[in-house]
Amino acid sequence: MGCRKIVLLFIISLAKFVFCETLLRIRQHEFFVKEASYTRLCETKHILTVNGQFPGPTLYVNEGDTIYVKVHNNGRYNITIHWLPPIIAFGINDLLTLHGSRASSRMGKAIHAVVLVAFWSIWKMRNEVVFKQAVPNVAKSLDEIKSMAFLWVKSRSKVVSLTWENWSRFNLGVLHGVKQPRNPWSDGPEYITQCPIQPGDSFNYKVIFSMEVGTLWWHAHSDWSRATVHGAIVVHPQPGEQYPFPKPHEEVPIILGEWWKKDVTEVLKEFLASGSAPRDSDAYTINGQPGDLYPCSRQATFKLNVEYGKRYILRIVNAVMNEILFFAIANHSLTVVGADGSYTKQLTKEYVVIAPGQTLDCMFEANQVRPGARYYMAARAYSSGSSVPFDKTTTTGILQYGNGGGSNLTTTSPVLPSLPHYNDTTAAFDFLASLRSLNQLLFSISAYDTRIYSTISINTFPCKNNSCAGPNGTRLSASMNNISFEHPSVDILKAYHYQIGGVYGTHFPRVPPLYYNFTSRNLPAILQTPKRATKVMMIEYNTIVEVVFQGTALVVGLDHPMHLHGFNFYVVGWGFGNFDEKKDPMKYNLVDPPFRNTVLVPINGWAAIRFRASNPGVWYLHCHLEKHRTWGMDTVFIVKNGNQDQDRMLPPPLHMPRC
Ligand SMILES: *[C@@H]1O[C@H](CO)[C@@H](O)[C@H](O)[C@H]1NC(C)=O
Ligand SMILES: *[C@@H]1O[C@H](CO)[C@@H](O)[C@H](O)[C@H]1NC(C)=O
Ligand SMILES: *[C@@H]1O[C@H](CO)[C@@H](O)[C@H](O)[C@H]1NC(C)=O
Ligand SMILES: *[C@@H]1O[C@H](CO)[C@@H](O)[C@H](O)[C@H]1NC(C)=O
Ligand SMILES: *[C@@H]1O[C@H](CO)[C@@H](O)[C@H](O)[C@H]1NC(C)=O
Ligand SMILES: *[C@@H]1O[C@H](CO)[C@@H](O)[C@H](O)[C@H]1NC(C)=O
Ligand SMILES: *[C@@H]1O[C@H](CO)[C@@H](O)[C@H](O)[C@H]1NC(C)=O
Ligand SMILES: *[C@@H]1O[C@H](CO)[C@@H](O)[C@H](O)[C@H]1NC(C)=O
Ligand SMILES: *[C@@H]1O[C@H](CO)[C@@H](O)[C@H](O)[C@H]1NC(C)=O
Ligand SMILES: [Cu+2]
């Protein structure tokens, strides 16, 4: 390495240390996991909560923040928490390749790097009161700083095609993307990246945000405790950054949940013992309340007061355990502006579809003039499997116009929105297929390095004396590529990091072990039994990975919301029937596909995603329907370390919970 390069690297690290580490705002939150008594549907029970709240507290952060959340387990059960900054990771080198490809010389690239880091630091500092007080003269307007830096880079490098627009977007990337989280230690899923926090113990999660903006959420990732242990995370743009849509008057978290009258631990126990599907829930909830259509619920129904002529943004999280939902507001269309922590092109619809794990940012305008009128917002299931039982109830909240000139709100009965029928797959995929990313692609997806083609199936295991409650006395199960995932008793991340053998196997199959007509209605029963195993997929650092999920009709065809930890991915294609390796990729959207962390794979169909494996670590991949995950529709991707120090997993924190 030349001396010049060493000096440059030194400057870069110094700049990073001084400006990024010391001046960034770092907040500490405290989460006390404990039981609290709640009354719903005329019955009172104890539920597990964070700080006694259901749903749990909403966390507000800015793009690029790092927060610590200390989770104290004051309950009776093991617990872990998963955070959904899905983590969009790419480094400064990638940006140089993306945008500075014409800066041919090494020196050119190095200059870029220095300028970018310096610029980034100034940007960060500018947001600090300290900085403004200390160096008032330097604090020019943001735009001035931007133009200066822009002109400087343009004059020094050979980036002739760089436009102002490129530069602004580029900044967005650079400012937040320099930081690669590579911190699986705080990801949360039990026995995947950590041992659970046992009663009486605590764990301080370090949650690193990079480029996410909009709505994310956090939830328990142990047993079924996420039913009540969950909450929203709202990520605001950096101070000084604008929304790419008109500024709303108010933003409102809308957390969709699922409620059983029975204790959720008992529901899980009963489910595991029977071998059949879990009992249906008794209600869905909007911000913890079932709403007017359920007994003993009218008083507490969630109400949103709006003013005529103003715009609102709903930050919707589907925290439901086992159902995909349709959601709508009567007489108000919804304009989607973001999904899973990433902006989308504006999409205006009468209803939206949201699967467990997903988030949507929806704007609407309070544009109804009828005095005193009230409107229901409502959600109910989208469930396509034939003869699969599910909770058919509808949860509601009320939109009411305030300042309505003394009109009597309590006397008007609200209007219900019309939601698509429970099994309306066309309506569900009309919506999902219309979503598009707003921003330029963050990495090239025109080709991939590795393709993983995996079936996702419902299965059965034989049961002694046919005594289980599944079909024909079997025990229901689920699999990916015919492997029903078994959780180990030591977490995979620890086993990987400390090279402990015998915890997991590395040969998750890249293709289905057997090709058959996956979506045929009459498949032989012999195909239904999977293998139990703990197998992971090893992935090379920084490669572009394509995963094609193939739904099957084994036992019953269903929609599956597949969720990958550690990354957002581009949903490049989907379709019904079997994936055709030759024809289907020709129809991919490689221009502006939605950038999500949970993809809904259509019933008896497939979906293809592409992501860049730039975040080394151990990352869980699973169906976000809790019953399917429990049955084994999950696996783990281990993304190997890169060669540079900044391309390796962070070291473990001092205190990880013990098994
Ligand atoms: C810069 O932006 C223009 C449109 O303003 C676009 O056509 C071009 O591809 C962009 N260049 C890069 C390197 O992203
Ligand atoms: C809601 O919209 C429907 C159909 O557009 C209309 O008939 C109805 O009067 C509206 N209701 C209210 C309360 O605004
Ligand atoms: C609104 O209606 C309720 C119930 O009918 C009534 O008690 C109340 O006086 C009314 N308020 C106004 C402002 O009209
Ligand atoms: C949806 O359900 C309705 C009524 O239950 C039924 O008539 C219809 O055939 C179903 N559609 C599909 C696509 O399964
Ligand atoms: C299973 O069947 C055998 C023989 O019929 C019987 O002895 C045994 O008790 C049965 N087991 C259960 C769990 O029903
Ligand atoms: C149950 O068994 C019957 C008769 O053996 C068979 O026809 C049917 O396909 C089985 N059903 C399932 C869901 O395996
Ligand atoms: C696969 O099964 C589907 C549904 O039964 C059927 O429409 C299709 O023709 C089958 N494909 C082949 C290649 O047999
Ligand atoms: C899955 O594996 C089991 C056990 O090896 C085998 O019996 C079954 O046929 C396989 N099914 C499929 C769909 O590959
Ligand atoms: C809680 O976690 C510990 C450590 O992994 C484990 O030994 C114990 O069985 C767990 N308890 C329950 C109730 O799952
Ligand atoms: Cu599923």
Query: For residue 84, what pLDDT is reported?
Result: 81
Q: What is the pLDDT of residues 247-293, one digit of tens each?
A: 999 999 999 999 999 999 999 999 999 999 999 999 999 999 999 99
Q: In whole angstroms, what is the distance from residue 559 CA to residue 601 CA?
A: 6
245-433: CATH architecture: Sandwich (2.60)
pLDDT at 646: 78
The minimum-distance atom of ligand 2 relative to the CA of 368 is 14
pLDDT of residue 177: 33
C-alpha 285/C-alpha 260 separation (Å) is: 11
Mean pLDDT across the chain: 85
Q: What pLDDT, on the 0 to 100 scale, is given for residue 149? A: 56
Helix 142-156 × helix 106-126 angle, to 10°: 180
Give residue 14's pLDDT band: very low, low, confident or very high (50, 70, 90): very low
Asked whether residue 559 carries a pLDDT value surpassing 50, the answer given is yes
Q: How are strands ordered across the β-sheet holding 395-401?
A: 303-306, 395-401, 374-382, 324-329, 352-354
Residue 511 CA to ligand 8 centre (angstroms)? 13
pLDDT score for 409: 56
d(CA 312, CA 333): 12
Q: Whose CA is nearest to atom 3 of ligand 6?
A: 472
Phi/psi of residue 169, nearest 5 degrees: -70, -40
Distance 527 CA to ligand 4 centre (A): 27
651 CA to centre of ligand 1 in angstroms: 38
pLDDT band at 126 (very low <50, low <70, confident <90, very high): very low
Residue owning the nearest CA to atom 3 of ligand 8: 530
Residue 21: pLDDT band (50, 70, 90) is: very low
pTM: 0.85
Query: Comparing C-alpha atoms, which of 508, 499, 519, 504 is closest to residue 450?
Result: 508
Tokens read off for 558: 């269903």
The CA–CA distances, whole Å, from 202 to 78, 106, 188, 228, 650 equal 11, 48, 13, 19, 21
Residue 563 bridge partners (DSSP): 598, 622
Residue nearest to atom 3 of ligand 7 (CA): 520
What does the pLDDT look like over 465-515, one tens digit per residue? 999 999 999 999 999 999 999 999 999 999 999 999 999 999 999 999 999
Tokens of 60: 């507000």
Q: Which ligand is nearest to the CA of 368?
A: 2
pLDDT at 104: 41
* Residue whose pair of structure tokens reads 């020709």 in the numeric block: 586
In words, the CATH class of domain 450-647 is mainly beta
Distance in Å, CA 367 to ligand 10 centroid = 39
* The pLDDT value given to residue 357: 96
The tens digit of pLDDT for each residue in 430-456 reads 999 999 999 888 888 999 999 999 999
Say yes or no: do domains 245-433 and 450-647 share a fold: yes
pLDDT score of 135 more than 70: no
Nearest CA to ligand 5 atom 6: 465
CB atoms within 10 A of CB 38: 16
Contacts of 389 (CB under 8 A, 6+ apart): 277, 280
Domain boundaries, the chain: 3-176, 245-433, 450-647
Residue 198 CA to ligand 9 centre (angstroms): 7
Cis geometry, peptide bond prior to residue 189 (ω within 30 degrees of 0): no
Is the model's pLDDT at 168 over the cut of 90? no
**By the 8 A CB rule, do 602 and 574 touch?**
yes
Question: Among all chains, which residue has been given the structure tokens 């999950």?
Answer: 634
DSSP 161: T
Q: What is the pLDDT of residue 238?
A: 80
Q: Residue whose CA is closest, atom 5 of ligand 8? A: 531
The whole-number pLDDT of residue 65 equals 84
Closest C-alpha to 111, from 16, 5, 2, 3: 5
Is 162 or 173 the better-scoring residue by pLDDT?
Answer: 162
pLDDT in tens, 138-164: 334 444 555 555 555 555 444 444 555
Q: Name the strands in the sheet holding 81-83, side by side, starting at the edge strand that comes first in the sequence.
A: 59-62, 230-236, 214-220, 81-83
Strands 230-236 and 59-62: what pairing? parallel
